Amino acid sequence: MPTIVVDKYRLFEALGEQFTEETFQQLCFDFGIELDKDTEDDASRPKDQAPELHIEIPANRYDMLCFEGIAIHLNIFRGKLATPNWRLADIPEDKMQTLTITKETEQVRPYAAGAILRNIKFTQASYDSFIALQDKLHQNLARQRTLVAIGTHDLDTIQGPFTYEAVPPKDINFVPLNQTQQINGEDLMSFYENDRHLGRYLHILRDKPVYPVILDANRTICSLPPIINSERSKITLETKNVFIDMTATDQTKLDIVCNIMVAMFSQYCAEPFTIEPVKVISEHNGTTRVTPSLATRTMEVEVDYLNGVCGLNESPASIAKLLSKMAYTAEPSQDPKLIKVTVPPTRADVLHPCDVMEDVAIAYGFNSLPRSSPNRSVTIGKALPINKLSDIVRNECAMAGWIEVMPLILCSHEENFEWLNRVDDGKTAVKLANPRTVEYQVARTSLLPGLLKTLSENKAMRLPLQIVENADVVLKDESLERRARNERRWGAAHYGKTSGFEVVHGLLDRVMTMLRFNFVDEEGQDDGYFIKEIDEPTFFKGRAAAIYVRLDGKLQRVGELGVLHPTVLEKFDLRYPVSTLEINLEVFL
């Protein structure tokens, strides 16, 4: 969730009320935002600085990513403000400022929009908020500028009509924002390579044959999205007229960003909430249009649906009133079963009537909604068979005095293979693409690494140590949709001054007895289990056996037990002998 930092005194002034920490906390709670921090009593706050509120905003409320958005929506919620009527200035299309998109932009960043905030009056606070909102939108909705990038300009330093073009880097020369020297497009990557802020956006353009640029009528570069604006057109506190350019790889996100940017700051214009549109001309694909759209959307929602899920019985008029607290305009429809709900251009999070329904519930108050029984139909519960089976094994082990442990599923490749003297055949283990550390390279294919690491961490305990685990390993399986499956295993490890082989074997016999499996002769035909010597490098030679099960006449190897090889002990930093067993439990289902 994005966190927005606002000036506490300014916000309370905008809300027209001095809240206590508790009452403000409650307001946030009811509305669905979260007061994370109030620096009022923070000793480290400089005395001359106003206290800050750190407010967490739900990730889909792009219209609340700045001071203005929070103040507007909390005021609407508290009935102190009607939803603003955001509108376009009444300018004939042929008089509009224009932004012409050329076909070449399709190679790199095909969409663009523009808007003008006319006769705006910034204060330091609103200016800072304007910059901060761009940053928040870039980080969140715009996915680190990959989807949308915003550039803002002092319109009085540049001159329309504007063009949005894509040109070879060598043809680009301009002084970037906060620089004094002109740079060439070919030097852009190296120039910003080590810039902590801008460096992380370079990958969006790297190796592209052309870079996108916004140019004015005099072919002056206004910005090179999504990296940097020009120094020449930068906005200041004194800027009166702001030209906003937005470029994108996603049309829907572009429209949302465009509406949010102008809606939040048009209140500081001489004519509040009025935005001067820009005509965006795309002759190459015939999609000429006027931006921002500021389009509202009207939905007809069933009254019974809204009431039904909320457990309410409100009239359409009363629902309309509730919805007005959430920035909608709603009115009863001609059909008494429906209510006409108009969604403001800022509420891009509203996709379906269920979003309206939630807002009815929020406006009413979640904690005030009438309670009803969740037990409408009778259903019969059932445990998952493999978990029932595991519980039997788990209990038997505990009764035999073994401690259950719960290591992690993920481990390093070495722990899973090399340290156990096992070879990765490439057909068994699921490997991860993006682990942060070597500890999480593969999903384990054996319980042994976890058991041995647990022993290693508990060497100070009184010996012998007897631990067990009933849990899943992951195995590749090309025949399945997910190309992998879990397998439930039962593993045990004995750590002590003697090998403990017979103790582990005893545990195996006990659990097999409880699962109604007899120890049988290898050569016979009876169902049951038996063990047979193996020579595998994980184990000490002559001290290891495979465990076989014959079930309905079908013979299969289900696991192995043995004394671990000294090189394995060394890798896991264990000083005394360890005997282990590991078997596939799914055979016994």
Q: What residues numbered 142-171 form the site for other proteins, per CB under 8 A?
A: 143, 147
Kind of pairing, strands 34-38 and 52-56? antiparallel
Among 22, 481, 535, 552, which residue interacts with other proteins (rule: CB under 8 A)? 481
Residue 36 corresponds to which tokens in the numbers above?
A: 């994370």
How many residues make contact with other proteins (CB under 8 A)?
92
Which CB atom, from 238 or from 335, has the smaller least distance to other proteins?
A: 335
d(CA 129, CA 24): 21
DSSP 206: T
User: Per CB under 8 A, which of residues 447..466 are in contact with other proteins?
Assistant: 450, 453-454, 456-458, 461, 465
Assign 472 to helix, strand or coil: strand
Taking the complex as a whole, the smallest distance from the CB of residue 522 to other proteins amounts, in Å, to: 31
**Smaller CB distance to other proteins: residue 467 or 578?**
467
Nearer to other proteins by C-beta: 328 or 530?
A: 328
Q: Does 311 bind other proteins (CB under 8 A)?
A: yes
* Rounded least distance, CB 408 to other proteins, Å: 5
Name which position in 16, 21, 29, 125 contacts other proteins (CB under 8 A): 29
CB 531 within 8 A of CB 548: yes
Are 303 and 357 spatial neighbours (Cβ–Cβ below 8 Å)? Answer: no
Q: Pick one of 95, 197, 206, 436: the residue that binds other proteins (CB under 8 A).
A: 436
Compare residues 166 and 465 and give the one whose CB is closer to other proteins: 465
CB 440 → other proteins: shortest distance, Å? 6
Q: Which stretch binds other proteins (CB under 8 A): 41-49, 267-275, 304-312, 512-520?
A: 304-312
b/e per residue, 364-393, with b = 16+ CB within 10 A?
Answer: beeeeeeeeeeeeeeeeeeeeebeebbeeb
Rg (CA), the chain: 34
**How far is 206 from 185, CA to CA, in rounded Å?**
11
90 binds other proteins (CB under 8 A): no
CB closer to other proteins, 232 vs 485 = 485
With CA atoms as reference, report the closest residue to 246 among 148, 110, 160: 148
3-class SS of residue 393: helix
Using alpha carbons, select from 564, 554, 507, 501 the residue that is nearest to residue 527: 554
Distance in Å, CB of 510 to other proteins, minimum: 20
Which structure tokens are listed for 265?
């700051």
Kindly tell me which of 92 and 374 has the beta carbon lying closer to other proteins: 374
* Contact yes or no for 97/161 (Cβ under 8 A): yes
Q: Name which of 334 and 434 has its Cβ closer to other proteins.
A: 434
Rounded CA separation 63/70 (Å): 8
Which residues make Cβ contacts (< 8 Å) with residue 299, sequence separation at least 6?
340, 341, 343, 353, 356
Q: What mask, x for binding other proteins by CB under 8 A, covers residues 353 to 372?
A: xxx-xx--xx---xx-xxxx
Phi, psi of 120 (to 5 degrees): -90, 150
Of residues 115-144, which lie at the interface with other proteins (CB under 8 A)? 140, 143
Can you tell me which of 5, 12, 32, 340 binds other proteins, judged by CB under 8 A?
Answer: 32
The smaller minimum CB distance to other proteins, of residues 185 and 450, is found at 450
* Contact set for other proteins, span 170-229 (CB under 8 A): none
Alpha-carbon distance 156 to 240, whole Å?
8
Could you say which residues in the range 44-83 bind other proteins, by CB under 8 A?
A: 58-61
10 Å CB burial of residue 82 (0-12, 13-18, 19+) is exposed
Q: Which two tokens stand for residue 574?
A: 């264990």
440, 537, 551, 557: residue in contact with other proteins (rule CB under 8 A): 440
- Residue 260 corresponds to which tokens in the numbers above? 């949010």
- Which segments of 126-254 are extended strands (E)? 148-154, 162-167, 173-174, 183-184, 211-215, 221-224, 228-229, 242-248
Tell me if 237 contacts other proteins by CB under 8 A. Answer: no
Measured from the CB of residue 442, what is the shortest distance to other proteins in angstroms?
A: 9
Q: Which of 22, 286, 433, 542 binds other proteins (CB under 8 A)?
A: 433
Q: Using the CB atoms, write b or e for 237-267: b if 16+ within 10 Å.
A: eebbbbbbbbbbbbeebbbbbbbbbbbbbbb
**344 and 264 Cβ atoms separated by less than 8 Å:** no
Closest approach of Cβ 585 to other proteins, in Å?
11
Query: Where in 337-356 is the site for other proteins (CB under 8 A)?
Result: 349, 351-355
Selected from 340, 413, 485, 557, the binder of other proteins by CB under 8 A is 485
Q: Is residue 251 within the footprint of other proteins (CB under 8 A)?
A: yes
Q: Which helix (H) or strand (E) holds 54?
A: strand 52-56
SS3 397: helix
Least distance from C-beta 456 to other proteins, angstroms?
8
Residue 250 C-beta: closest distance to other proteins, Å: 6
Q: Give the pair of three-digit tokens for residue 149.
A: 């990038």
Binding mask 283-302 for other proteins (x = CB under 8 A): --------------x-----
Q: What are the tokens at 19?
A: 């809240």
Q: Which stretch binds other proteins (CB under 8 A): 5-13, 62-70, 425-433, 557-565?
A: 425-433
CA–CA gap between residue 524 and residue 513 (Å, rounded) = 19
In terms of CB distance, is 336 or 385 closer to other proteins? 385
Task: Check binding of 254 to other proteins (CB under 8 A).
Answer: no
Q: How far is the C-alpha of 245 from the C-alpha of 441, rounded, in Å?
A: 44
Regarding 41 and contact with other proteins (CB under 8 A), the answer is no
Q: Which residue from 119, 159, 252, 298 is in contact with other proteins, where contact means CB under 8 A?
A: 252
> Can you tell me which of 329, 486, 498, 584 binds other proteins, judged by CB under 8 A?
486
| Residue 35 sits in the site that holds other proteins (CB under 8 A) | no
Interface region with other proteins, contact rule CB under 8 A, candidates 46-54, 68-76, 219-227, 480-488: 480-488
3-class secondary-structure state, position 146: coil
**Closer to other proteins at the Cβ: 45 or 483?**
483
Applying CB under 8 A, among 46, 374, 542, 553 the residue interacting with other proteins is 374
Q: Which of residues 380-419 bind other proteins (CB under 8 A)?
A: 380-384, 386-387, 403-410
